[in-house]
Structure 1
Amino acid sequence: MPETILLVEDETSLISYLKTELEFEDYQVLIARDGLAAWNQYQIHRDHLDLMILDWMLPKLDGLEVMRRIRKHDDLPIIMMTARDYIGDKVAGLDNGADDYITKPFEIEELLARIRVIIRRQNKQTQVLQKYQVADLTLDTKARQVMRGHQLVQLTQREYNLLLTLLRHQDEVQTRDELLNQVWGVNFDGQVNIVDVYIRYLRNKIDHAQSQPLIETVRGVGYLIRSKQNEIE
């Protein structure tokens, strides 16, 4: 089944060009021409979207506001696409949840390569076939299900990947840079605080009101799940 990309752009000629190129690469392409339409399309198709290419400067809602809204719900991969070349704008886009950033004008081969990297990373993160159990927390990668005791824990894709990474490296301190590389697939000092934000989200869901919190901060440099881990084939 082809991956589905939501292309959000208000320039007609660029929409036509990118849609043609993406469909030639066997992607299914949905179109939104303003920020409000992008938000509506996301709400309708969110369970079937694999990636969003999101322009920054849009009518009705700008790209940053669209991304902020989406990040309240899940971790759909987003590539920001903009004519802005100021480093502060790139940092703002990445800090607010963009997975990647491309500046206009660009060669289509570069955009396609960035898409392939993100899709490969997403596919790789869903191909693990073990279960992990630490204390009363269980993560089943086949069912993509997390339980704390008898309670089902609803996680976004990014929160799930972050927890899975900590469980795979149980008893090993994972620095913020290491978590960025493994979960976000980037190495950018300016967005290290994203790790802290998502650790907080994760703690609120799996450790809130628990007598035995699982995620520890170690010497202010990283995070650790220290409890004994059992892997079940």
Structure 2
Amino acid sequence: METRPVISEFLGTLLLVFFAVGSAVLAGEYIGTLGIALAFGLVLLALAYALGPISGCHLNPAVTLGMFVAKRIDQRTAVAYWIAQVLGGIVGSALLFLLAKQVPGLKTSGAFGSNGYGDRSAVGINIFGALLAEIVLTFLLVYIVLAVTHKVAVLGFDGLPIGLVLAVIHLVGIPLTGTSVNPARSIGPALFAGGAALSQLWLFIVAPLVGGVLAALAIQFTHPRDAVRVPADEVAV
């Protein structure tokens, strides 16, 4: 397989984590939940236009799993993307950690943009609630990605709904779990936060993957592979 798509997934995930998670770590108290949500959505939107035609701009193992289950990519591509995404998330977190260390008084242990439940949740959501929230939120993200993309590539205005839905997902999810919906986004920060962030990390790997599989199954019923796209102005109401 080509190396360009794999490199794109690595670089894209690195940038997503550095800038989007960085908005929470470096500027969260100034921009608030809305600002962080917009940071995630806008960074993904920009990357979708830059990298979508090359790799599909998954930048998320749950999206890649959804593409695999929906039979849009093969196993070799999926595994290569997963490795690139996780490594990208870790390197992006390392760069963010290095930058955060240059800010006097900024705490880098404990939270560091990681996800959590219980006493690590802003609203104290329990483990079942966190699991359910992450599955449903990831379902929405992966479903939208599968619905608007042409096989794998993000073309034309495909990136707009993907960026918008990620922003909406973060508006809902930040108070609950900090919003993962992306194992690669969760693994990197947890490695540097340590402690409870690592012990709770399993949920933010498992739940998004389950949500991605469910979205791939659902898309078969609403958007079967042999269906012809109908322009919006021709849809019967």
Q: Which interval holds the TM-score relative to the shorter structure? A: under 0.3
Question: TM (normalized to structure 2)?
Answer: 0.23
Counting helix residues as a fraction of each chain, which structure ranks higher?
A: 2
Rg larger in structure: 1
Question: TM (normalized to structure 1)?
Answer: 0.24
Quick one: higher RCO (CA 8 Å, sep 6+), 1 or 2?
2
Counting strand residues as a fraction of each chain, which structure ranks higher?
A: 1
